A and B are shown apart, each in its own frame.
Chain A
Amino acid sequence: MMIRTLIADDEEGPREQLRAALQRLAPELEIVSACANGVDAWDECLAQEPALCFLDIRMPGLSGLEVAHRLAQLAEPPQVVFVTAYGDHALSAFDAGVVDYVLKPVEDARLQQCLQRIRQRQAQVAEAADATDAAPTASAAASLPTATLELLRQLLPAHRPTMRPIQASQGREIQLIPPEDILFFQSDSRYTRVVHRDGEAWIRTALKELLTELDAQIFWQVHRSVVVNSRFVASATRVDENTMQLSLKGSEEKLPVSRQFQGLFKGQ
């Protein structure tokens, strides 16, 4: 079985070295994407749904830890291997084997060891899937992230710079929209639509770049192209097995929630 794999490192040398080493040592890995920053890595993860991610810790946009933190919240989180330049003390936290890490420059022996763990875990997931036919990737994979999520939360820096007002130009006028007034962001291929209390505006910044500035506690990504202000969410409705819709306060629009993010709305 091919394992869909993503590599992210902001420097070309180490990225290509890792790719070459993986192709040599583990032909069963299918490298679906190689990204040069954290923002692209997160976006590609949503688009490609890899089962395995090699993330550099220091990357522009979102750090490897931040990408992993987001991934761990998905319905079916991929396995994560951190790649870093030196023995960061934080990494010893992962020695338990929940998440693995390798040091740059990557050495074959260490990578082999890491791949061995990945194969074992994949086998567990497959076994679990066989046992419970209905939910394909239930227990084994799903049991991993809770501990990881907690660890990652501790390792992440305590605060991000607070978000500045969104600046949208309309003709010759530049409109400033305070983040607390924004209902949701929706991305087009090149622009981002900002729907706020008093109307809507279009900005040039891509949604995935905006993500680095948004407070993740308030602004929830619910779809690859939709980020919603959780304070304006009125209800989430399950339409069928795979589809969910959000209704908002102060807007008639219904927003889609993709399968990966449905865990955000559990209903208790």
Chain B
Amino acid sequence: MTLRSAMADNPRFHWSQWIFPGPRRVFTAAELARAGGTGWSSAIDCYVYTNVVLIVAIFYTQLPPGSALAVVISVIAVSMLGLLVARWLWRHPTRTRYNLVSLATGVAIATTQVSLSKLGWKTQVMESMPFVIGGMSLMMTSWWFLTLYRTQQIESRLRELDAQQERIAMAQRLATAQIQPHFLFNTLASLQHWVDTRDERAGPMLRSLTRYLRATLPMFAQERLPLEQELQIVRSYLEVMQARLGQRLTWSVDLEAGTQPVITAASLPPGTLLTLAENAITHGIEPSLRGGHVAIRVGMTASANAGEGGLLRLEVEDSGQGLTPDAYDGLGLSNTRERLQAQFGAAAQLGLERASPGCLAWIELPLQPSHGALVGDQAAAALPHTRPAAGPVPSIDAAPTRPAHEPTTP
């Protein structure tokens, strides 16, 4: 809590602030790493030096001729020291640091003055006293404001980041809530009929639905999900939709040659690919009179094959209705974009394009471990065919191993 808010909360006199002033909140190293992004600007150094030089120049003629140069050098040295302290406070703005450094400065200046007068410069010391005290007060006041400013800056940045995170979490919950009821009850309506009429389609549909639910329900508790699991969820989803829409939907999952190790190793925010597949169905296939085809493709960009700085590219293309002007504002899409941003920063891209016919959605993720795409899953990558043990998300059972290149369903 800063001094100002401490006073606002409680109008009583704060003894500790009288004796030991400054912000009361102390940031942990983690908090500083998270919110203390902006470094010390060298523009401030330039500003301070310019002012010091100007003031010295103005008063230069009035300085005693013998010690003028010594005074100039010591003033510049003191400003350098002052700026060093300022940087130190910037890195870790606490009132302990501020008070310690103020005390040390006071003691140092007093010692210097006393020593100088003992050495026989008593008159000069007495004459320069107002300037020395003025300069010292100015420096300490600057440090004090710097400490306060910096504390407030970090505090508000932390608050901002918290709010942002909360918003993302909320959007995720909204997205799950938005997806599931409609999908679920529509599926159950088909299932109900087939169970009533003892249709043989009921069994496979129920199995796919179970697999889909088992994988998706705990999905959002995870921060990231291996791409392999995400692909399985998408397959189960498309199987269910295929059963419901019948001949109006065909689909395929194509894994480009050589992507298998990447698929085992890479991970992404859960539901990323699923959201694109759901969009393709709800905005592409379902509104289209004749239905269409949904193609999921996993590949690498050309530079990835060359080595350095490559990207993993995921594509979902449908041959349905095509883009409407409001397609860009969908909650699912902006939500996905935000989550990719949170995980990979600017390195990940999500795009939506017109295809003929229909629509193409793509995601590009950094492949290099240094970018974070594969960090944490490297161990799993070392053991092919072992699913990464990803916390509470159950591995999808009952799914037979599929050939890498998979032309699927009628």
**In the complex, chain A residues whose CB is within 8 Å of the CB of B245:** 10-11
Digitize B236-256: 1 where CB-to-A-CB distance is under 8 Å, 0 elsewhere: 000000001110100000000
With contacts A61-B289, A85-B182, A161-B325 taken as known, whether A104 is within 8 angstroms of B189 at the C-beta atoms is yes
**In the complex, chain A residues whose CB is within 8 Å of the CB of B246:** 11-12
- CB atoms of A16 and B193 under 8 A apart: yes
- CB atoms of B191 and A13 under 8 A apart: yes
With contacts A85-B186, A104-B186 taken as known, whether A60 is within 8 angstroms of B286 at the C-beta atoms is yes
Residue from B192, B287, B324 within 8 A of A13 (CB atoms):
B192
Residue from B196, B287, B288 within 8 A of A20 (CB atoms):
B196
Q: Is A79 an interface residue (CB 8 A)?
A: no
Count A-B pairs with CB separation below 8 Å: 68
- CB atoms of A39 and B289 under 8 A apart: yes
Q: Is A58 an interface residue (CB 8 A)?
A: yes
With contacts A85-B181, A85-B186, A103-B185 taken as known, whether A17 is within 8 angstroms of B324 at the C-beta atoms is no
- CB atoms of B286 and A58 under 8 A apart: yes
Interface residues of A in 97-112 (CB under 8 A from B): 103-106
- CB atoms of B289 and A104 under 8 A apart: no
Digitize B171-206: 1 where CB-to-A-CB distance is under 8 Å, 0 elsewhere: 000000000011011101111111011000000000
- CB atoms of A86 and B182 under 8 A apart: yes
- CB atoms of B189 and A13 under 8 A apart: yes
- CB atoms of B190 and A60 under 8 A apart: no
CB distance from B325 to the nearest CB of A (A): 6
Interface range on chain B: under 10, 10 to 19, 20 to 34, or 35 or more?
Answer: 20 to 34
With contacts A11-B244, A14-B193, A17-B193 taken as known, whether A209 is within 8 angstroms of B182 at the C-beta atoms is no
Q: Is A37 an interface residue (CB 8 A)?
A: yes
CB distance from B10 to the nearest CB of A (A): 46
**In the complex, chain A residues whose CB is within 8 Å of the CB of B191:** 13, 105
Residue among B244, B289, B321 facing the most chain A CB atoms (10 A cut-off): B289
Residue among B191, B192, B324 facing the most chain A CB atoms (10 A cut-off): B192
Interface residues of A in 11-39 (CB under 8 A from B): 11-14, 16-17, 20, 37, 39
Residue of A nearest to B290 (CB): A60
Residue from A61, A105, A209 within 8 A of B185 (CB atoms):
A105
**In the complex, chain A residues whose CB is within 8 Å of the CB of B286:** 10, 58, 60
**In the complex, chain A residues whose CB is within 8 Å of the CB of B192:** 13, 17, 105
**In the complex, chain B residues whose CB is within 8 Å of the CB of A20:** 193, 196-197
**Bound complex: CA A17 to CA B194 (Å):** 8
**In the complex, chain A residues whose CB is within 8 Å of the CB of B287:** 60-61
Interface residues of B in 207-247 (CB under 8 A from A): 244-246
**In the complex, chain B residues whose CB is within 8 Å of the CB of A209:** 289
**Bound complex: CA A209 to CA B321 (Å):** 13
CB distance from A23 to the nearest CB of B (A): 12
- CB atoms of B196 and A17 under 8 A apart: yes
With contacts A17-B192, A17-B193, A161-B325 taken as known, whether A104 is within 8 angstroms of B185 at the C-beta atoms is yes
Interface range on chain A: under 10, 10 to 19, 20 to 34, or 35 or more?
Answer: 20 to 34
Interface residues of A in 214-239 (CB under 8 A from B): none
Residue of B nearest to A15 (CB): B193
**Bound complex: CA A11 to CA B182 (Å):** 14
Digitize A1-17: 1 where CB-to-B-CB distance is under 8 Å, 0 elsewhere: 00000000011111011
**Bound complex: CA A7 to CA B180 (Å):** 25
Residue among A39, A104, A161 facing the most chain B CB atoms (10 A cut-off): A104
**In the complex, chain B residues whose CB is within 8 Å of the CB of A37:** 289
Residue of B nearest to A162 (CB): B325
**In the complex, chain A residues whose CB is within 8 Å of the CB of B288:** 60
- CB atoms of A106 and B189 under 8 A apart: yes
Digitize A75-88: 1 where CB-to-B-CB distance is under 8 Å, 0 elsewhere: 00000000001100
**Bound complex: CA A173 to CA B13 (Å):** 89
**Bound complex: CA A259 to CA B239 (Å):** 47
**In the complex, chain A residues whose CB is within 8 Å of the CB of B194:** 13
**Bound complex: CA A56 to CA B368 (Å):** 48
Residue of A nearest to B185 (CB): A85
With contacts A60-B289, A161-B325 taken as known, whether A85 is within 8 angstroms of B190 at the C-beta atoms is no
**Bound complex: CA A17 to CA B186 (Å):** 12
**In the complex, chain B residues whose CB is within 8 Å of the CB of A17:** 189-190, 192-193, 196
**Bound complex: CA A37 to CA B321 (Å):** 14
Residue among B189, B191, B324 facing the most chain A CB atoms (10 A cut-off): B189
CB distance from A110 to the nearest CB of B (A): 13
**In the complex, chain A residues whose CB is within 8 Å of the CB of B321:** 60
CB distance from A191 to the nearest CB of B (A): 17
**In the complex, chain A residues whose CB is within 8 Å of the CB of B193:** 13-14, 16-17, 20, 105
Residue of A nearest to B201 (CB): A13
Q: Shortest 6 CB-CB distances between A and B: which pairs?
A: A13-B190, A17-B193, A104-B189, A14-B189, A105-B192, A85-B185
Known: A11-B245, A103-B185, A104-B185. 20 other contacts (CB 8 A): A11-B186, A11-B190, A12-B190, A12-B246, A14-B189, A14-B190, A16-B193, A17-B190, A39-B289, A58-B182, A58-B286, A60-B286, A61-B287, A85-B182, A85-B184, A85-B185, A86-B181, A105-B188, A105-B191, A161-B324
| B interface, CB within 8 angstroms of A | 181-182, 184-186, 188-194, 196-197, 244-246, 248, 286-289, 321, 324-325
What are 6 of the A-B contact pairs (CB < 8 Å)? A13-B189, A13-B190, A85-B186, A86-B181, A104-B186, A105-B188
